[in-house]
Structure 1
Amino acid sequence: MDNSFIFTIFEGLPRQGPGSNECTRKAFSMLTDLPAQPEILDIGCGTGMQTTELARICPGCRITAVDVHQPYLDDLARRAAAAGVGERITTVRASMDDLPFRNASFDVLWAEGSIFVVGFAEGLASWRRLLQSGGYLCLTEAVWFTKNPSPGVAAFWNECYPGITTVPENCAIAEDAGYEVVATFPLPESAWWDDYYTPLIKRLADLRGDPDAEALIDFSEREIAVYREHAGEYGYEFFVLRKNR
């Protein structure tokens, strides 16, 4: 599989992973004691649907949006400008495992659907230095909703993300890493379909016939089929964490 094409296949799509504006708003509503002008770092922002939503619901915030793929950042800048919030969003091209920011630079870290790239425990540990004391880390992560997943879906996840575990296990990892678990909640199935899988299905159909894309198209269609059949066994969970003072 040509991994470089993974970025290209999602260019211009609303999201590069499960999520929704409703879930973004719900998670943000759980943050208390924020300063009047909080500094937010959106890690692995993609095309930034959640970035723009954060700027809308927190008019005083300033957001630094980071991604390794420049076309995503360009798309985000255009969308933010169209939404009238572009002046409060700065884009930075950087890898999430080498973030070029000073310690304690941010009040909130945001990472919807991106921490799997570095690993849940690894991300919590390496990103913690960026937070002010008492700052928040809000992220979504793939989790099991059952302790006994079907053999087929277990094999699929063991192939693509063997680090997947349960919500309680991830909460324990977060606490060991120096965070308080403020809240967690599962993303609804609509957060997979409306702005992620449904647009992706159309994109995959448009790309059929491109020899560089065939392996990725096959894998993506398999992923969608697995979710359609086994949505009750796994999904994404929103974790709202707070750095211990």
Structure 2
Amino acid sequence: METPFIFTMHEGLPRQGPGSNECTRKAFSILADLPAQPEVLDIGCGAGMQTVEVARVCPGCRITATDVHQPYLDQLAGSAASAGVRDRITTVRASMDDLPFPDASFDVLWAEGSIFIIGFREGLAAWRRLLRAGGYLCLTEAAWFVKDPSPEAAAFWNDCYPAIKTVAANRAIAEDAGYEVVATFPLPASAWWDDYYTPMIERLANLRAAAAGNPEAEALIAFEEREIAVHREHGSEYGYEFFILRKKE
């Protein structure tokens, strides 16, 4: 089966979405009362920069990292080996809407930049069963930071992810889904540019020749360029918010 171009476009990059090791560490530092050897599930891990960072900051944890794209998992395995944490990370090729794990298997669920694939509300509901009592779900989700976004930003997100909501609206959804909202914080601008957009810009330049004559690939490149341009002009109006949630008893 031919690899979808969207995966090819992101292969080999440090991250497949906004984020940073600093934000990962900040989120993990908020977690309290974890067991000495917590079981962590990283859902939609991509190349796994955050997976390796969690393994670094929590030497006792054991992490299961899932993604549907095997090359991402292979990249993660290589990065984990280089960081000396490979023995505590298990990779599993699996879809986030059909995770093959028993109920109450994990103390922490981690999902940086991935829940939008199935939807914020849907992911919260589907994944809750995997958490042990008092377990944490740590994720990032796109959110509006202003009441009245510009027409350009609104049009882009209507095409990209029309389910985008304000931070307050997402907090309410999380509470209704059976979680306590422990903390939230916005990702800084550097989390979009340093390890995501800047490497992506270089990648797009190299991919244009390969995409020539492939309408789907050309459209994906054009949309990615539009995304970067909109964020450059209107990034203060929206962003990713880190949500640290805890399963209610």
TM-score, normalization by structure 2: 0.97
Structure 1, unpaired ranges of 5+: none
TM-score, normalization by structure 1: 0.98
Q: Secondary structure at the match of 1:15?
A: coil
Give the deviation of 1:59 after TM superposition.
0.2
Q: Aligned residue for 1:33?
A: 33
Counterpart mapping for 1:89-238 below 5 A:
89-210=89-210, 211=212, 212=214, 213-238=217-242
Q: Aligned residue for 1:5?
A: 5
Give the distance between the partners of 2:112 and 2:15, measured in 1 at CA. Answer: 10
Give the deviation of 1:115 after TM superposition.
0.1
Give every structure 1 segment of 4 or more consecutive aligned residues whose post-TM-superposition deviation is greater than 6 Å. none
Q: Secondary structure at the match of 2:142?
A: strand
Give the deviation of 1:11 after TM superposition.
0.6
State the Cα deviation string for residues 187-233 of structure 1 (Å, max 9, x = none): 00000000000000000001112223321111100000000000110
Give the deviation of 1:3 after TM superposition.
8.9
Give the distance between the partners of 1:145 and 1:68, measured in 2 at CA. Answer: 31
Q: Quick one: which of 220, 237, 244 aligns to 1:240?
A: 244
State the Cα deviation string for residues 5-27 of structure 1 (Å, max 9, x = none): 11111111000000000000000
Q: How many residues align?
A: 244
Q: Secondary structure at the match of 1:73?
A: helix
Q: Secondary structure at the match of 1:31?
A: coil
Give the deviation of 1:147 after TM superposition.
1.2
Equivalent position amino acid for 1:230 in 2: H
Q: Secondary structure at the match of 1:46?
A: coil
Give the structure with the higher percent helix.
Answer: 2
Give the deviation of 1:152 after TM superposition.
1.3
State the Cα deviation string for residues 64-112 of structure 1 (Å, max 9, x = none): 0000000000010011001100000000000000000000000000000
Instruction: Give percent identity, aligned residues only.
Output: 78
Structure 2, unpaired ranges of 5+: none
Equivalent position amino acid for 1:41 in 2: L
Give the distance between the partners of 2:22 and 2:172, measured in 1 at CA. Answer: 26
CA RMSD of aligned residues (A): 1.0
